[in-house]
Structure 1
């Protein structure tokens, strides 16, 4: 079985990497009942997975209408905030960005598949603040991303994908510490089953009436073993892992997984790096 997305084959460094896609491809689907997964999280960890700021309801309502149009059926909020109602109907997490006080800020979000962050930690933050932990983001990308938000036109749907390796098959991972604490207990011989490729497929589009921007995040998980099913796919991943830029490796904490990933690659016969043979460790 092939992974739904393979962004490691395209880059191993931070990149804005947004590309236009057809409007019909905006939401990928693939989950019969998203609410069955999301509702228990909303009940048990409400502040972790949901947040809204005052004044965001008009843009939320527009986002809900956009999601309903994509699904081809109406969404009844049933007393819920509109963005939350929409998020219960789609697999994606939904994040609303609005221009406030001269900066694009996160004004509402439903976040049921977080990769080591929470709704309460990011609600209200600007683009610069949201990407503060990313090495070199302010210097390399912030101005470009801000221009992109300013110039985003209605009807245009943009997509990007990023990736990492984690030792959890759960989509809900708001806290890195308990996940990473389990790394030393993993037998390198079990790396193919214990480690997962975690891919985020993200989209961005303008809400024409309010001028807000709607950002979606869909998480896909595959065991590392899926790479071994195709030699070209395995080689592409090995090149990306071993050739990843230092800032990218540092942010993704690749060093924590190096012994396990290398054990997997050697076990599968992938013994070459981007620069030639690697000696066994």
Structure 2
């Protein structure tokens, strides 16, 4: 388990602005390969091979967007690749264009959700979600933003309208990012839960693991789909304190 944990996090997850907490970033900084790359990618390989029904989703109508996302990621990490990519951990990954979400999930640490405008709302039409933080892909697949965020108490109709406007406003080449933070009892990365299930929480100030997601919004040029990418950091409480972060009140 230790090879999927982080000793540092490149932002302060406790310095959190109000929802939706969005800020711009440079596309060159989108995809991150960090100290947990090898361990996280080995787990991703296992999940995609052994439990594809739990971690992959693709509506046929979303295939053009999924293929465009694969092309975009390949251009960023291996622009000369034709049939295979050699990852930073030495594993060779075949570029299977018939299964773009599975290929994406084996290339980088990020999970990807593709949301496309259907009527007045953006709907989840494709995903590779190996590291869910207490939600289940099958429950959210094909649903609009408000349905995806149920039953998050802070995500009321007002926030929903703001987030929909945000998705409408994401521009090509001008991506946005935010982060969250959650304390977990254990360090498992793959933690799906039904909407009716409660997440066990560590006692305040005692043990536990900080889980923080770097969440990015990227507009694809051809399909106009919005990509919601998730890079997951997990640190033990000692590592959080060693970095000089202040977890009080969380």
Q: Same fold (TM over 0.5)?
A: yes
Other-structure match for 1:5 = 11
Task: Choose 1 or 2 for highest CA Rg.
Answer: 1
Cα pair 1:106 1:125 within 8 Å, conserved = yes
Query: In the TM superposition, what is the alpha-carbon distance from 1:105 to its structure 2 partner?
Result: 0.3
Query: What CA deviation, in whole Å up to 9, does each residue of 1:72-93 have, x standing for no partner?
Result: 3337433542132122101010
Give secondary structure in 2 for the equivalent of 1:202: strand
Instruction: Report the CA distance shift for 1:44/1:18 in structure 2 as closer, same or farther (over 3 A).
Output: same
Q: What is the number of equivalent residue pairs in this alignment?
A: 228
Residues 198 and 220 of structure 1 are in contact (CA less than 8 Å); yes or no, is this contact kept in structure 2?
yes
Structure 2 unaligned regions, length at least 5: 1-6, 84-94
Residue pair 2:210, 2:236 contacting (<8 A) in 1 also: yes
CA contact 1:198–1:221 (8 Å) conserved in 2: yes
The Cα offsets for residues 172-218 of structure 1, whole Å up to 9 and x where unpaired, read as 111386972x96xx8x99x33xx000001100010010110111011
* Residues 93-131 of structure 1: per-residue CA shift (max 9 Å, x gap): 011001123321000000000111122111101011111
Assess if the C-alpha contact under 8 Å between 1:23 and 1:156 holds in 2: yes
Q: Does 1:233 align with 2:245?
A: yes
Q: Secondary structure of the equivalent of 2:188? A: coil
Q: Is the 8 A contact 2:48 2:102 kept in 1?
A: no
**TM-score, length of structure 1 as denominator length:** 0.73
2:30 is the counterpart of 1:26: yes
Aligned match for 1:153, one of 171, 178, 193: 171
Local SS of the residue matching 1:9: coil
- The two structures have a TM-score, normalised by structure 2, of 0.82
Match of 2:104 in 1: 86
Q: CA deviation at 1:52?
A: 1.1
Q: What is the match of residue 103 of structure 1?
A: 121
Residue 205 (str. 1) matches residue 223 (str. 2): no
State the alpha-carbon separation in 1 of the partners of residues 70 and 8 from structure 2: 32
- Can you give the 5+ residue segments of structure 1 that lack an aligned partner in the other structure? 242-281
